[in-house]
Amino acid sequence: MSTPPTEETQVEQPDSESAVSLINVPNTLCAIRLVGSFVLIGLAIGGATDVFVVLLGFLLMTDWVDGKLAILLKQQTKFGARFDTVADVSLYTALLFGLFWLKGAEIASQWAWMGTAIFSYGLSVIIALIKFGVFPSYHTRAAKICWFLVSVASLALFAGWSTWPIRFAAIAVSVTNVEAIAITCVLNAAQVDLPSIYHAWKVRDEV
């Protein structure tokens, strides 16, 4: 992600970043992920499962590497954090669509688990929108773990291995979303890049 969790958190302030600063490597990767998400939907509709999986793997890797590049290249921005969230939502929406379209029969018994994860994320977004008027972009450590679990569960399903990783990933995602809700409730102002609820309390005390 463009601005991954760090010990130093950022207080949300009016965006003073220049237009030039927003054209950077991590934001470019986010743009690729955003556009690629729509391509994934097209591939799913066309039944191109193999190509879908290859592109999915590539897009998931951009989600993992862009945050590291943002730190390495010192290209962390609040815009990047927001843009990363948009790209991630697009990617995982496309992934869900692809699972439904290409593997509907295999995951028919998993929708309760997946639905819980989706509902908890939706609730997290609604609460953040009501309180701050923006999508939550906390990029917590737990969210990073969930990225790995969702990636493994998805690729395992397409490889025909097992569906049980979906349940494990869904539980982890739900717990992570509960933490995001707690962070929103704790904060007095919108923030980006908070590693955990502990850091939310710390920022609240400092502001």
Full pLDDT tens readout for the chain, 207 residues: 444 444 344 444 434 455 447 788 999 999 999 999 999 999 999 999 999 999 999 999 998 888 788 878 888 888 888 899 999 999 999 999 999 999 998 888 899 999 999 999 999 999 999 999 999 999 999 999 999 999 999 989 988 888 899 999 999 999 999 999 999 999 999 998 899 999 999 988 775
Taking the domains of the chain in order of start, what are their residue ranges?
A: 10-206
pTM beyond cutoff 0.95: no
35-43 long-range contacts (CB < 8 A, ≥24 apart) are 36/62, 36/91, 37/87, 37/90, 37/91, 37/93, 37/94, 38/90, 38/94, 40/91, 40/94, 40/95, 40/97, 40/98, 41/94, 41/97, 41/98, 43/98
**CATH code of the region 10-206:** 1.20.120
Q: What is the pLDDT of residue 161?
A: 86
Amino acid in position 86 = V
